[in-house]
Chains A and B, each alone.
Chain A
């Protein structure tokens, strides 16, 4: 009944044409802008970009924040996911829902909260001064720390969810068995848990990493002009200078990062299916 491939193709065609024409085509043209000059095709814009100290600094900051947020969310994620698993199957679903909730709340609202919290008259500074950790309220807004905190809050749930489902798929008796055999917690983690949840870690890690390096709202609001990331630099170049060539180079870098991490996920998930 489903042998006629032409029907299949006809059904898929509208979506294919839409995404192809309304999405991939314009994005493709944008990508070529960085390679095209009136004199012909060139890679010179890339070399200029990577020799511009400001662009380099922004690229490194983006990578640094991406990796930093990923590593931190992995550490917190394991602790949290293990605890979620310990709460037992019934509570587990409720716990999972609690981690899905923040993902559904507008990132604008979530970022806005940090302006109130991290400001000099905010709750965190009140606590810091109140506890005597510092005489003066700390300057937290418009620093890399603020962007780090904002990004971590935005993307931590993805890591927790991915690790929780990886831990759920681990055979139930592995942990008790290892404990009976007298293994210490560190040994259990590195010899048992980590190898068995490696895929979940990588899936969660790539989601967090791509999310963090391509975030716009958080660096724009909590970082500002002093803490540019690639996306905010792109927006600035376009909106202030109408500089499409540089925007195209940044776009190529971001898309390359994104494709690399997504194909990593795909390799892992297809291996699991095989």
Chain B
């Protein structure tokens, strides 16, 4: 009896979490002009239309560049930091960890506002640079955390052995450590990419004239576009995220790092 109730709860929860999404996907297949479910007729018209809208194309490209750029930057900063904390008894190590992972604690909208007021405006930074700064800070904690997990699985004596066998320490890092934490870095990249790509609050204050990220653009368009194109776009983006995650799970075992 309780078991039945439990499975009912599981089913309902999955419907609650994924159902709305299926409805949006379905509404996108409408052949009519209205966003309704069930859809009026069936066509791929709106899924095609998404690609014709220039502003979405532009903001999609920008979001991609932003997500890739800031995640790469976050990894370049985060990997050495994670390595230092995993291997060296750095003075004030706990403090360093707290500082580097602090962006997780500060609500993103506040970070965006603070960056705009006290960094971007005083320094006269262009919009893209502002976005990269904000997103890199936001993604850096994930990079540190995920790479740290990878490093704890790799025993330090492997490196020591390499050095004993004549490798330089830098050589040992690139030949021994990096290949071993490659999966962790890929996992961090994917998590960072998705975090940045879907980010709204930090970008809210940082986007500027002619430079908008896709989620911000969608948020604006949601209000006045009432045809199924946004539904189609939402579905395509979700499919993109989901397939990245599924492939990553298959190849890397992503869920170990989440």
Contact = CB atoms under 8 A, between A and B. Distances in A.
- Say if the two chains contact directly (CB < 8 Å): yes
Interface of A: 1-5, 7-12, 14-16, 18-20, 22-27, 29-30, 76, 79-80, 82-84, 86, 93, 95-102, 104-110, 112-117, 121-123, 152-153, 156-157, 160, 185, 214, 216-217, 220-221, 231, 234-235, 238, 244, 247, 251, 254-255, 258-259, 262
A1 B205 contact: no
A242 B120 CA distance: 16
A102 B18 contact: yes
Given A12-B80, A216-B204, A259 B219 contact: no
Interface in B124-148: 133, 136-137, 140, 144
Nearest to B143: A15
A207 B194 CA distance: 19
B6 A79 contact: yes
Contacts of B81: 11-12, 14-16
Nearest to B233: A109
A27 B110 CA distance: 7
Contacts of B115: 22-23, 26
Given A221-B219, A258-B106, A123 B6 contact: no
Contact of B109 (A4, A5, A109, A216): A216
Contacts of B89: 2-3, 5, 8
A87 B184 CA distance: 29
Nearest to B228: A116
B10 A84 contact: yes
Given A18-B137, A153-B17, A113 B205 contact: no
A123 to B, nearest CB: 6
B16 A11 contact: no
10 contacts: A2-B89, A14-B80, A15-B81, A23-B137, A79-B6, A108-B198, A109-B218, A116-B23, A234-B110, A238-B205
B191 to A, nearest CB: 9
B13 A14 contact: no
Nearest to B103: A23
B234 interface: yes
A214 B149 CA distance: 27
Interface of B: 2-3, 5-7, 9-10, 13-14, 16-18, 20-21, 23-24, 27, 35-37, 76-78, 80-81, 83-85, 87-91, 96, 99-100, 102-111, 113-115, 117-119, 133, 136-137, 140, 144, 156, 159-160, 163, 169, 194, 197-198, 200-201, 204-205, 215, 218-219, 222, 230-231, 234-235, 237-238, 241-242, 244-246, 249, 255, 258
A14 B114 contact: no
A104 B242 contact: yes
A112 B77 contact: no
A234 to B, nearest CB: 6
Classify the secondary structure of B's interface with A. helix
A123 B80 contact: no
B17 A121 contact: no
Nearest to B97: A12
A80 B163 contact: no
Task: Give the residue among A8, A86, A110, A152 with the most B Cβ atoms within 10 A.
Answer: A8
Contacts, number: 255
Contacts of B156: 1-2
Given A8-B87, A15-B81, A217-B200, A98 B14 contact: yes
A114 B106 contact: no
Contacts of A22: 115, 119, 133, 136-137
Nearest to A106: B198
A108 B114 CA distance: 23
A92 to B, nearest CB: 11
Contacts of B235: 109
B17 A102 contact: yes
B88 A4 contact: yes
A107 B219 CA distance: 10
Contacts of A1: 156, 159-160, 163, 169
Nearest to A257: B107
A106 B234 contact: yes
Given A19-B137, A254-B107, 4 more contacts: A14-B81, A24-B102, A108-B198, A234-B109
A106 B16 contact: no
Given A25-B118, A86-B6, A107-B200, A153 B88 contact: no
B88 A99 contact: no
Nearest to B133: A22
Contacts of A86: 3, 6-7
Given A15-B81, A23-B102, A254 B110 contact: yes
B5 to A, nearest CB: 7
Given A24-B102, A104-B194, A106-B198, A117 B21 contact: no
